[in-house]
Amino acid sequence: MTIERILENMKSKFQPDKNGYYGQFGGAFIPELLYPNVKELEDNYIQILESEEFQEEYKSLLKDYVGRPSPLYLAERLSEKYGAFIYLKREDLNHTGAHKVNNTIGQVLVAKKLGKTKIIAETGAGQHGVATATVCALMGLECTVFMGEKDIERQAPNVARMKMLGAKVIPALSGSKTLKDATNEAIRYWIQNPETFYLIGSVVGPHPYPDMVARLQAVISEEIKWQLKEKTGKENPDTIIACVGGGSNAAGAFYHYMDDKEVELIAVEAGGLGVDSGESAATSQLGEVGIIHGSKTILMQDEYGQIVEPYSISAGLDYPGVGPLHAYLYDSKRATFLNATDKEALTAAYELTRIEGIIPALESAHALAVLPKIKFKKDQVVVVNLSGRGDKDLSTYIKHLEE
Amino acid sequence: MNSIQELFQKKDENLLSIYFTCGYPNLDDTTKVITELEKSGVDFIEVGLPYSDPLADGPTIQDSSQKALENGINLDLIFDQLKEVKGSNKTPLVLMGYLNQMLKYGEDKFCQKIVDCGIDTVILPDLPMIEFENHYKDLFEKYGITNVFLITPHTSEERIRKIDSYSKAFIYVVASASITGAKGDISNNQVTYFERIKSMNLQSNLIIGFGISDKQTFTTACNYANGTIIGSAFIKNLGKNGIDKIDDFIKPIIS
């Protein structure tokens, strides 16, 4: 066996190849106009991420600014109810209230190393927009966030936060005026302003974004490993559960466990009103191979390849695609893909609030919502990634208080 | 020989190509627009496949695409419409769409259909060179189809040389770092860029597009290339004045 061959075999199956492919998924399907930008990033991102200077700055900010490590909390009452040891990875306790900031801090540092001073981002519910605006305020960078006109109306508090943080919020007026269109508009702006750095919020987009974002979110599973060892004596849980829209919090929670076959990975998509209702965002169940935002992945589309608008009560999960890593985890059957409806997510959110005193984000509530659907064996150790807190969803929660 | 290449052998300067969106303004307008464009003396026609998420397009083409999709246009209807004009139309057609449309339709089926419509040239702005080299080059060759590459002010010389070697119809010179749509006059920076490309003495013919909208920008651009493509400005005019006035838009440009 040649050295190259040995090295190749040692490499994780779940890392992209040199062209950004996870199996048949990934790549960089971008117009020539974006080639220099994406190429610049591709040529430099690993070197930057692995440099001592970056690691020092990134880790110090995660510790002192974000408040990491985020606790791994044994939810005793929840555990008792479902007959398993259920640990919550408390990403909701991060500064800005979700896992998104792990990525924005990392990418802003990358942007600075590349000499970029203007940041653009897309946002759906506004969590990534807020996390981007926050780090831009911290670093003194100009920040422009694209957000669907419909989402701007639905998520007023986050729009106000971004503005207070000094970001410019540009409404996306095209298409369905939600996350997909905000991303389109951000890409179009990037084409016209190639000096800007596009800070993508999930493990989506052209290579190297999915890999870069996954590496920046990998801190979640890195911490789970040592935290779980401290608590149980073992690094590996039996099961990890995370919600998936684009898939960044799941990518982070799965990252260091992907090659450990004994760890069961469960991805939970938004079922909306039900997978077969026509109002759903369960991409793996409803999608087929297709290209969105520069990546070949599983995509919700009609028979002519027109992208279909997904639906979910959660603005952070209604993306018609899924990151290419997740498409591969699904296709290779490494991860199990479940889904939870709006109603199941609401019920789970109320349950966690009432028995643990934690109000989860609607997105994270989808991950919790599959607990009743799984038959746990005795002493099963389960980690649920609690990706965000529920403050932003209060109006939705209050509306359903009576139900 | 490729139909566009053949065209260039007859005429190699001041060529005008018009982009239009199939199924716009009305579902059945595809054939009428082609017929009118041919009558007006357009040299070749870019047939736009409406797409839900056209990343490289500005508001005008986004809107026409959305309207066309709302009209109920789809690839099967488009291929039927294009077959209708196949016998009568002598002006070469170039198909412009996004890669996902071909992927979902079935790559071989898609290629066969366009060949059946008498089309041998495609523009797929989100088809990157590496994917072309790894897969699509062979696929297209199998069907005698030529792919048009885009270059921009930021495309490196090395890359342009490579694109030149792959191009059989023409190189699409994107006039500025932008999406489609009018930008007003051509700037000095753009002229410098056009001159740089022209001085490279490429084997391929050059067509300038993105931001070309009227007689003035057409004439200026034609100094540095074999011709130009006008898209958004034409769509705007078509939406406002209708098919009957196509000639009124084209004539002042080419006269």
What percent of chain B clears pLDDT 70, i.e. is strictly above it? 100
Secondary structure letter of residue A18 according to DSSP = T
Catalytic position from the list A42, A70, A91, A100: A100
Angle at A145 between CA A142 and CA A146, to 5 degrees: 145
Q: Which helix (H) or strand (E) holds A283?
A: helix A283-286
The pair of structure tokens assigned to A386 is 């609690």
Report whether pLDDT(B228) > 80.
yes
Catalytic position from the list A42, A91, A122, A351: A122
- Please name the member of B100, B126, B177 whose beta carbon is closest to the beta carbon of A30: B126
Q: For chain B, what is the radius of gyration of the CA atoms?
A: 17
A338 within 8 A of A370, measured Cβ to Cβ: yes
| Mean pLDDT along residues B101-120 | 98
Q: How many Cα atoms are found within 13 Å in the side-chain-facing hemisphere of B94?
A: 31
One-letter identity of residue A28: A
Runs of H (alpha helix) within A83-178: 100-113, 127-139, 149-154, 156-164
Report whether pLDDT(B198) > 70.
yes
* Spatial separation of the C-alpha atoms in residues B142 and B123, rounded to whole Å: 17
B4 within 8 A of B169, measured Cβ to Cβ: yes
pLDDT value at residue A8: 59
Tell me the pLDDT band of B199, cut-offs 50, 70 and 90.
very high
ipTM of the complex: 0.96
Contact A305 B178 (CB under 8 A): no
Catalytic, B46? Answer yes
Contact B101 A19 (CB under 8 A): no
* Spatial separation of the C-alpha atoms in residues A197 and A41, rounded to whole Å: 10
Report whether pLDDT(B104) > 80.
yes
Q: Which helix (H) or strand (E) holds A147?
A: strand A142-148
One-letter identity of residue B149: F
Tell me the pLDDT band of B203, cut-offs 50, 70 and 90.
very high
Q: Secondary structure of chain B in the HEC alphabet?
A: CCHHHHHHHHCCCCEEEEEEECCCCCCCHHHHHHHHHHHCCCCEEEEECCCCCCCCCCHHHHHHHHHHHHHCCCHHHHHHHHHHHHCCCCCCEEEECCHHHHHHHCHHHHHHHHHHCCCCEEECCCCCHHHHHHHHHHHHHHHCCEEECEECCCCCHHHHHHHHHHCCCCEEEECCCCCCCCCCCCCHHHHHHHHHHHCCCCCCCEEEECCCCCHHHHHHHHCCCCEEEECHHHHHHHHHHCHHHHHHHHHHHHC
- Please name the member of B99, B104, B149 whose beta carbon is closest to the beta carbon of A304: B104
A 10 A CB-CB count for A61 gives 21
The pair of structure tokens assigned to A348 is 């789970």
pLDDT value at residue B105: 98
Q: Which helix (H) or strand (E) holds A341?
A: strand A335-341
B93 within 8 A of B120, measured Cβ to Cβ: no
The pair of structure tokens assigned to B132 is 């072309």
Q: Which helix (H) or strand (E) holds A231?
A: helix A219-232
* Spatial separation of the C-alpha atoms in residues B141 and B139, rounded to whole Å: 6
A299 within 8 A of A289, measured Cβ to Cβ: yes
- For residue B50, say if its preceding peptide bond is cis, omega within 30 degrees of 0: no
Report whether pLDDT(B177) > 80.
yes
pLDDT value at residue B183: 77
A 10 A CB-CB count for B72 gives 9
Q: What is the pLDDT of residues B27-84, one digit of tens each?
A: 999 999 999 999 999 999 999 999 999 999 999 999 999 999 999 999 999 999 999 9
pLDDT value at residue A401: 80
pLDDT value at residue A10: 61
A 10 A CB-CB count for B3 gives 17
Contacts of B58 in chain A (CB under 8 A): 188
- Please name the member of B69, B99, B178 whose beta carbon is closest to the beta carbon of A29: B99
Q: How far does the CA of residue B128 sit from the closest CA of chain A (Å)?
A: 6
The model carries a pTM of: 0.96
Contact A301 B104 (CB under 8 A): yes
Contact B177 A191 (CB under 8 A): yes
Residues of chain A under the 70 pLDDT cut:
1-11, 402-403
The pair of structure tokens assigned to A82 is 């479902």
Taking the Cβ of residue A333 and every Cβ of chain B, the question of whether any pair is shorter than 8 Å is answered with: no
Taking the Cβ of residue A4 and every Cβ of chain B, the question of whether any pair is shorter than 8 Å is answered with: no
Taking the Cβ of residue A195 and every Cβ of chain B, the question of whether any pair is shorter than 8 Å is answered with: no
User: Is B17 exposed, middle or buried (CB count within 10 Å of its CB: 0-12, 13-18, 19+)?
Assistant: buried
pLDDT value at residue A5: 66
Q: How many CB pairs under 8 A join A and B?
A: 106
Residues of B with CB under 8 A from a CB of A: 51-53, 55-56, 58-59, 62, 66, 69, 74-76, 98-105, 125-128, 130-131, 134, 149-152, 154-156, 159, 174, 177-179
Quick one: which of A345, A361, A344, A271 has its CA closest to A310? A271
- Please name the member of A30, A194, A294 whose beta carbon is closest to the beta carbon of B177: A194
Contact A29 B131 (CB under 8 A): yes
- Please name the member of A174, A294, A305 whose beta carbon is closest to the beta carbon of B62: A174
Catalytic, B29? Answer no
A170 within 8 A of A145, measured Cβ to Cβ: yes
